[in-house]
A and B are shown apart, each in its own frame.
Chain A
Amino acid sequence: MEEGQVIVGLEVHCQLDTKSKLFCGCSTDYRSDGPNTHVCPVCLGLPGAMPVINKRSIEYAMRVAKALNCTVLDESEFSRKNYFYPDLDKAYQITQYDKPLAKGGYLEIESDEGGEKKVRLTRIHVEEDPGRLVHMGNAERGKYSLVDYNRAGIPLIEIVSEPDMRSPKEARKFLNKLRATLEYLSVFDSEKEGSLRVDANISIKGSERVEVKNITSYKGVEKALTFEITRQKNLLRRGQKVERETRHFLEAQAITQSARSKEQEHDYRYFPEPDLRPLRVKSWVDAISLPELPDARRERFMAQYGCSLNHARTLTGELKLANFFEKVVASDPQRLSPLAATWVADTLIGELNYRDMSLDKVEPAFFTELVEILKKGIITDKSGVEVLRVMLDQRLKNEPCETPAAIVTRLNLAKTTGDTETLTAAIDEAIAQNPKALEDYRTGKTGALNFLVGQVMKKTRGKADPGTLNRMLAEALKNKGA
């Protein structure tokens, strides 16, 4: 590793998608309910209450451990991590310390150099989420905090990586791959707000390590790391030292900020949780059957549907997207896949992101119909985009949804392949209105042809079949003595 090399490690906390909390029977479905309505003596930490481990949370964590090639320990146990904070109602968090569920393992990601690389994992363990603090008040009236314990006791899986990443981009890839894997394992719902939290450790080779906490989005990770790396590099360039410290990521401003003395050198006084008994679950590993995971699905998409590596990567990068694609091409995979892959991976995703819209709102059958129409050459690609946009907008605004065929008819988008009269007129008009282009074409500038094609397309509102248009235009130009 060279001097000045960026070194990144991540600690990722994901909420496990169980029905009840880690140590009690309170429902985990708290997001649409009022504060402190999903709380019981156990997760409120009332004196005398005692934890009992949710079996499914361990099963889920073991699925992850197996999928990530970790070694499950013969015996693991829960420990208390003691510190004082209003959102931590027992003043300790029940977590795993020196005997986690699993150690080792790795996740393969696309490296910056191209190709794949393994990011090694240190460990995986299970712990409980604390409650949620809302900061209130102001300097005059006095500041205070409001606490909601609905989230207290939600099961978390913590996945710690070795410092094997070399850039914000690799970190983002790691996170995306991890998220996808957890979704494929059906243990995690990435659409739930706050279900993922990341702490990052960053250093420049030869300098101190900085911990950045409080990153709660995938985009946030890349932003936080980019800012932090720049900050550190600037310090070093000015001949200053990077201090070993903990910083918080402020999403709105996309900066990291030094966390004050509160974060300094916590002595957590770990000791084994005396109210719980050890786990001996290594024997469960064999019985766990893993579903098809992202990498395997990617390979299958390439083999079965003929997708390119890039398309396959994109399509299998999210469970819902992969399922959607397979449903879309199901009726005739051989015929539809090439076009569908492009339209889903390159076009649909972009249009959904632009509208901040969920894939859930798009019915695979409707999309199949659109692909069929495109495959048959009834409309141009440009019209295809227009139809897609209409489809999405109708669903976004909860308006009545037309079929793609109906939209094509209503907007009169069918290609004017047969109507050479309108096309000839448009071509003649375009040439007449653009004498310079004609001149350029005559002098051999082929760009002039494309320009004129564009002009004719405008006049025909994109409906002209490109093949026919090009042929007829070339013909017309020749006739004009070009």
Chain B
Amino acid sequence: MVTEHDVQHIAELADVGINKDELGTFTSQFNAILDYFDTLDTVKGNMAAKSELFNVLREDEVEPSLPQDDVLKNAPFKEDGFIKAPRVM
């Protein structure tokens, strides 16, 4: 069981934002889904599958990088070849 407060906290942890009018419905739907997740409690055994593939590696060879323009093309803000981001603290 999670409370509206818990759901608010999870939204912050995930940085997705949830507004107050949604909170009530969201929480009850959330709880219904989490209850359903509890069917996992009936799972027997503790072995996950061993991967068939392993040691998937590539040689240490240089390959062409993207031109700087392509790197910056989709960024909304840039300056002198850097990508601009909101300040960190």
Contacts and interface: CB of A to CB of B under 8 A. Distances in A.
In the complex, are there CB atoms of A and B closer than 8 Å?
yes
Interface string B28-58: 0000000000000000000000010111111
B11 interface: no
B19 interface: no
B1 interface: no
Contacts of B84: 144-147
B82 A148 contact: yes
B82 A55 contact: no
B57 A35 contact: no
A425 interface: no
Q: How large is the interface on A (under 10, 10 to 19, 20 to 34, 35 or more residues)?
A: 35 or more
Given A39-B71, A44-B71, A147-B83, A54 B57 contact: yes
A53 B82 contact: no
Nearest to B79: A146
A36 B68 contact: yes
B57 A20 contact: no
A55 B62 contact: no
Contacts, number: 118
A70 to B, nearest CB: 19
B interface residue count range (under 10 / 10 to 19 / 20 to 34 / 35 or more): 20 to 34
Nearest to A46: B74
A327 B77 CA distance: 54
Given A39-B66, A280-B55, A146 B82 contact: yes
A148 B81 CA distance: 8
B58 to A, nearest CB: 5
Contacts of A35: 68, 80-82
A58 interface: yes
Q: Is the interface of B mostly helix, strand, loop or mixed?
A: loop
Contacts of A40: 63, 65-66
A58 B58 CA distance: 11
A134 B83 CA distance: 10
A298 B80 CA distance: 49
Contact of A55 (B51, B59, B83, B89): B59
Interface of B: 13, 15, 51, 53-66, 68, 71-72, 79-89
28 contacts: A20-B62, A20-B63, A25-B58, A26-B63, A26-B65, A35-B68, A37-B81, A40-B63, A44-B71, A52-B56, A54-B57, A54-B60, A55-B58, A56-B59, A56-B60, A84-B15, A86-B85, A133-B85, A144-B84, A144-B85, A145-B84, A146-B82, A147-B83, A147-B85, A149-B83, A276-B56, A277-B55, A280-B54
Give 6 closest A-B pairs by Cβ, nearest first.
A25-B63, A146-B82, A56-B60, A86-B85, A55-B57, A143-B87
Given A86-B88, A145-B88, A276-B56, 16 more contacts: A19-B60, A24-B63, A26-B62, A27-B65, A34-B81, A35-B80, A36-B72, A39-B66, A40-B63, A53-B57, A55-B57, A55-B58, A56-B59, A135-B87, A142-B87, A267-B13
